[in-house]
Amino acid sequence: MVDPTMPTLENHAESSSDEEDDEVGAPAAEEQPSSPTENSKQKKKKKKNKKKKAKSADADGGIGSETTAATNSSSANAPSSNRQMSIEELLRQLAVQEQPQKKTMEDYKFWKTQPVTKFDEKIDDEGPIEGDKTPDDIPNTPYPLLNEFEWDTMDLANPDVIKEIFDLLYGNYVEDSDSTFRFNYSPRFLDWALRAPDFRPEWHVGVRVSGTKKLVAFISGIPVRLRVRNTTITAAEINFLCIHKKLRSKRLAPLLIKEVTRRVNKQGIWQALYTAGVVLPKPVSTCRYYHRSLNWSKLNEVGFSPLPPGTTKAKMIAKYKLPINTSIPGLRLMRRDDIGQVYDLLVAYLNKFELAPVFGKEELLHWLMHDYGTESVSNDEKDKDRVVWAYVVENADGLITDLVSFYSLPSTVIGNPTHDNLLAAYQFYYASTAGLALPRTHPECATLLKNRLLVLFNDALVLAKNLGFDVFNALTLLDNPLFLDDIKFGAGDGYLNYYLFNYKAFPIDGGYREDGKLEVEKRSGVGVIML
Ligand SMILES: CCCCCCCCCCCCCC(=O)SCCNC(=O)CCNC(=O)[C@H](O)C(C)(C)COP(=O)(O)OP(=O)(O)OC[C@H]1O[C@@H](n2cnc3c(N)ncnc32)[C@H](O)[C@@H]1OP(=O)(O)O
């Protein structure tokens, strides 16, 4: 049934001939269809689009399920007999799923017009792709939309507006390829993610139906300073691109992207960082999702973790059992007054990565603490609406030696009779003094760091389990390849592609190898975590 608040777009936007100029933007006068019934070609197109859509899931990777082999892939649990070994190896190899075959550059009708690296482009040097514009060259007015729609700058200081964005995402944001799970970013999460220090209200871009004011599309940017190897760039971090399901495949996404680009450019910023599960021209890095079961029974019941052949549910539950208590002396919830030490530690650690954020202290405090521990919000670990948890290890001399953090991003479980949500903790920034003084490639650095991260993340799993999370998710970024297998993370079927807009850069290691194993030696050069 058609939502009565939503205009049907059969007669105009749907008329796409797949060319870049066939968007939901107002077409030139002679292109404007004159009556809702005039174009039968468009209806045929719609059927074709529907088929196409059914084929191409737009998942963002992170909520995909575990692969069967993933549950077998822990080296710490490698079966002892050779026969079992070879089955495990076979399963692992079967699980090496390449990302869906990418389109050719020519097929990207929108992206081929943008300043992004082409798939076959040979990079000889790093730097901006287009570098000759000033804000005065950028139009002052938004891109035109069809009359039924209007742009809105979303005022996130207003909780009702955050609720509108929440509602749009709740029903329409990223799903896995089977439409079993959909990300469920909470209003508090959106407040944290989008009202970051120095955020620009005009980079929170909505599209509303003019008549009803219903929010039907959204894209956001926040300011970020980013180091790409030795160069620090001021950029926008683009996220939460979402179009209502009823307005899909009508070329509205390119329009949102162009409008946010215009607004960012107007402020003299020409680069952006974004991630997506889909392959676009051209990822600077690709990381793979790994998942660690905390509540295997529930993950099995919602269809996230299949029961691997040859084992039992009881054995799976036993495999993922964790101690009740953490093990590292001095591990405690971070307080706001830790920020000086935490900042120095994280800066020193992130310095070793090729793509990393350059945080200010206030900014880092926001990302690790949000408003917890302020006068208005207590630093309550068990607060049911809490979105980010940061823990530090303080030694007997009062020195902070380690940081570990994670955030809460549940997924709605679609159409399951027993469970309506999956409570996922996602790994966030961490750092350790272990091996810090040594170059990353030094074998002793790897040994020291591995030993420390094993216990640090085992404790993080215990904390997350005790907070009620069902699964702990992490990418193959940072130094994660050192410990994921050993503490029973399994490879998922999702990948996350990292992109730079208007900046070419040499490829950066994503932490996994083509044979499906973790890249333990080089690990990943990616040190930035996107929400
Ligand atoms: C200097 C400042 C620069 C700032 C901007 C930097 C760039 C920021 C870029 C944005 C970063 C966002 C980061 C996140 O938030 S990633 C999360 C994306 N959101 C979702 O997956 C939610 C569910 N899906 C949807 O809401 C829609 O399917 C979306 C909105 C994704 C596409 O809507 P729709 O399905 O109705 O399609 P269309 O007909 O309007 O448009 C089709 C065109 O859109 C290209 N497409 C499809 N998916 C994505 C995608 N995830 N990133 C970039 N482009 C994408 C596609 O290749 C095609 O172009 P081309 O193949 O013809 O070339």
- Dump pLDDT digits (tens) for 158-199: 999 999 999 999 999 999 989 999 999 999 999 999 999 999
**Per-residue model confidence (pLDDT) at position 24:** 64
**Per-residue model confidence (pLDDT) at position 477:** 98
Nearest CA residue ID for atom 18, ligand 1: 241
CB atoms within 10 A of CB 215: 19
**Per-residue model confidence (pLDDT) at position 100:** 60
What's the average model confidence in pLDDT over 404-425?
A: 97
CB atoms within 10 A of CB 34: 8
Ligand 1, atom nearest to 236 Cα: 2
pLDDT tens track for 58-103? 344 566 677 644 333 333 333 333 444 444 454 444 445 556 657 8
| Confidence bin at 51 (pLDDT 50/70/90) | very low
Task: Determine the distance separating the centroid of ligand 1 and the alpha carbon of 119, expressed in angstroms.
Answer: 18
Task: Determine the distance separating the centroid of ligand 1 and the alpha carbon of 254, expressed in angstroms.
Answer: 7
Ligand 1, atom nearest to 249 Cα: 39
Position 50 pLDDT exceeds 80: no
User: What's the token pair of residue 337?
Assistant: 């007054």
Separation between Cα atoms, residue 364 and residue 495, nearest integer Å: 26
Angle at 166 between CA 110 and CA 379, to 5 degrees: 120
Instruction: Note the pTM of the prediction, 2 decimals.
Output: 0.87
**Chain-centroid distance, C-alpha 314:** 33
Q: Which residues of 41-78 are buried (b: 16+ CB within 10 A; e: fewer)?
A: ebeebbeebeeeeeeebebbbbbbbbbbbbbbbbeeee
Position 20 pLDDT exceeds 70: no
Instruction: Show the ligand 1 pocket: residues with CB < 6 angstroms.
Output: 58, 60, 108-111, 172-174, 236, 238-243, 248-254, 257, 260-261, 264-265, 269-272, 274, 276, 278, 280, 501-502
Separation between Cα atoms, residue 443 and residue 521, nearest integer Å: 9
Task: Determine the distance separating the centroid of ligand 1 and the alpha carbon of 204, expressed in angstroms.
Answer: 16
pLDDT tens track for 493-518? 999 999 999 999 999 999 999 999 99
Q: Is 215 known to be catalytic?
A: no
Task: Determine the distance separating the centroid of ligand 1 and the alpha carbon of 208, expressed in angstroms.
Answer: 18
**Per-residue model confidence (pLDDT) at position 59:** 42
| N-term to C-term CA, the chain | 33
Ligand 1, atom nearest to 276 Cα: 16
Strand order in the sheet with 411-413: 181-183, 411-413, 421-422
Nearest CA residue ID for atom 5, ligand 1: 261
Task: Determine the distance separating the centroid of ligand 1 and the alpha carbon of 216, expressed in angstroms.
Answer: 14
Instruction: Specify burial of residue 152 (Cβ count, 10 A radius: 0-12, 13-18, 19+).
Output: middle
Ligand 1, atom nearest to 18 Cα: 62
Position 239 pLDDT exceeds 70: yes
**Per-residue model confidence (pLDDT) at position 315:** 98
pLDDT tens track for 285-297? 999 999 999 999 9
Task: Determine the distance separating the centroid of ligand 1 and the alpha carbon of 472, expressed in angstroms.
Answer: 27
Q: In Å, what is the CA distance from 419 to each residue of 18, 304, 471, 475?
A: 40, 12, 14, 25
Nearest CA residue ID for atom 46, ligand 1: 253
Question: Percent of the chain, pLDDT > 70?
Answer: 81
Position 449 pLDDT exceeds 70: yes
The whole-chain average pLDDT of the chain stands at 87
* Probe target for ligand 1 pocket from 58, 106, 207, 262, with the most ligand atoms within 8 Å of CB: 58
